[in-house]
């Protein structure tokens, strides 16, 4: 007798057969990273995390021009890696990318392992990414479960709970594992990705072109707009930061940020205190002059005192930037100096030419701000 505690049997060979046949006939075959070169596959998989294909392609090509092999990437200075990544977002990926390249060179002589379990031991590589790299590069039979695949599964199988919930995600992994084909793993893996990216899209999916339409619960019940269940929304946290745009002639002062945290390892405008939460409500932002700067006036003056003679100081309009988990209100102080100091108290501060700043590893919002000067 079958145990009531046994895992459900989700095996269905016709599922993978339908995906593989569709992919070979209608899937994507000209993406620049469609190769069995593990370095290129891995690079693309990291870049494609939470980022659209169209946005990734120019960054991918730029990386390969500068770092054509994992050895080149491992040997590159961290500031070069961050500059290549600047604008792609989620900068922890870039730091992990660099660390991973170094470990592949040190531990595996520059050859990515074919075992997904070993790949998962490397920085920035999770279970789904490890499976994709192994499948495309070595033909290893392993299951992927990225955001697009979760959406496909949620609709096809009529999953009525949020896919990010632990129990639901565990069940989806069981399905992903059970549905794996015995062969053609690369075509199957690419097929799932292609379905999620081009057919079973978030809004108005193209169900008429889907090879899984006849077995899709969401399609049969008219619930494609409802599934997958959305993540319960939370009000975004708010953080505030005082930033200094210090200018001496045609040069500005930039700060090398610490490796951890937001924009870690990148150059940015110097900050007072760093990003802090809950100090002003959004309704107060329209008051002029900036009430936050008035509240912190003493601290601002103390920070500026290190530069000696100051020609002018003014507050710029508050600008906002939305991150994944919070909304940043940046209060920028523009300070013009009479002359550039020879010595600075903090070694993390550096003078750079304003007209060269756009070529540096700066966060996109900072580049946008500097382009107005």
Active-site positions read 45
CB 236 within 8 A of CB 327: yes
Could you count the other beta carbons within 10 Å of the beta carbon of residue 271? 16
Q: Residue 323: which residues within 8 A CB-CB, separation 6 or more?
A: 262
CA dist 304 and 310 (Å) reads 8
Q: What is the CA radius of gyration of the chain?
A: 25
CB 127 within 8 A of CB 116: yes
Which own/partner contact pairs does 198-202 have at CB distance under 8 Å and 24+ positions apart?
Answer: 198/28, 200/148, 200/151, 200/152, 200/155, 202/151
> Comparing C-alpha atoms, which of 118, 111, 179, 168 is closest to residue 144?
179
- Quote the tokens at residue 235: 């009000």
Angle at 157 between CA 154 and CA 161, to 5 degrees: 45
- Quote the tokens at residue 294: 């008035």
């Amino acid at each position: 007798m079958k145990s009531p505690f046994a895992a459900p049997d989700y095996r269905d060979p016709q599922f993978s057969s339908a995906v593989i046949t569709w992919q070979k006939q209608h899937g994507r075959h000209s993406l620049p990273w469609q190769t069995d070169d593990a370095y290129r596959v891995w690079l693309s998989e990291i870049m494609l995390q939470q980022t659209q294909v169209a946005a990734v392609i120019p960054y991918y090509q730029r990386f390969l021009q500068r770092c054509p092999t994992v050895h080149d990437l491992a040997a590159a200075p961290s500031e070069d890696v961050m500059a290549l990544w600047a604008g792609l977002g989620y900068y922890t990926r870039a730091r992990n990318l660099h660390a991973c390249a170094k470990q592949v060179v040190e531990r595996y002589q520059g050859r990515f392992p074919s075992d997904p379990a070993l790949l998962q031991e490397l920085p920035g590589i999770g279970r789904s990414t490890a499976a994709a790299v192994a499948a495309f590069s070595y033909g290893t039979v392993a299951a992927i479960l990225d955001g697009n695949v979760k959406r496909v599964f949620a609709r096809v199988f009529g999953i009525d709970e949020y896919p990010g919930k632990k129990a639901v995600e565990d069940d989806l992994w069981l399905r992903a594992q059970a549905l794996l084909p015995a062969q053609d793993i690369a075509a199957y893996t690419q097929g799932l990705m292609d379905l999620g990216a081009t057919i079973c899209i978030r809004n108005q999916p193209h169900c008429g072109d889907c090879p899984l339409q006849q077995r899709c619960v969401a399609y049969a019940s008219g619930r494609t707009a409802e599934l997958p269940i959305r993540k319960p929304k939370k009000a975004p946290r708010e953080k505030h930061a005082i930033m200094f745009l210090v200018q001496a002639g045609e040069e500005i002062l930039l700060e090398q940020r610490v490796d951890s945290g937001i924009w870690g390892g990148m150059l940015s405008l110097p900050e007072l205190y760093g990003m802090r939460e809950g100090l002003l409500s959004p309704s107060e932002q329209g008051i002029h002059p900036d009430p936050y700067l008035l509240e912190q006036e003493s601290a601002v003056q103390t920070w500026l005192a290190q530069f000696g003679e100051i020609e002018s100081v003014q507050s710029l309009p508050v600008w906002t930037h939305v991150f994944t988990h919070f909304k940043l209100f940046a209060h920028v102080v523009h300070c013009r100096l009479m002359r550039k100091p020879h010595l600075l108290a903090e070694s993390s501060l550096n003078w750079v030419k304003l007209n060269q700043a756009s070529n540096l590893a700066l966060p996109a919002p900072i580049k946008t701000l500097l382009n107005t000067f």
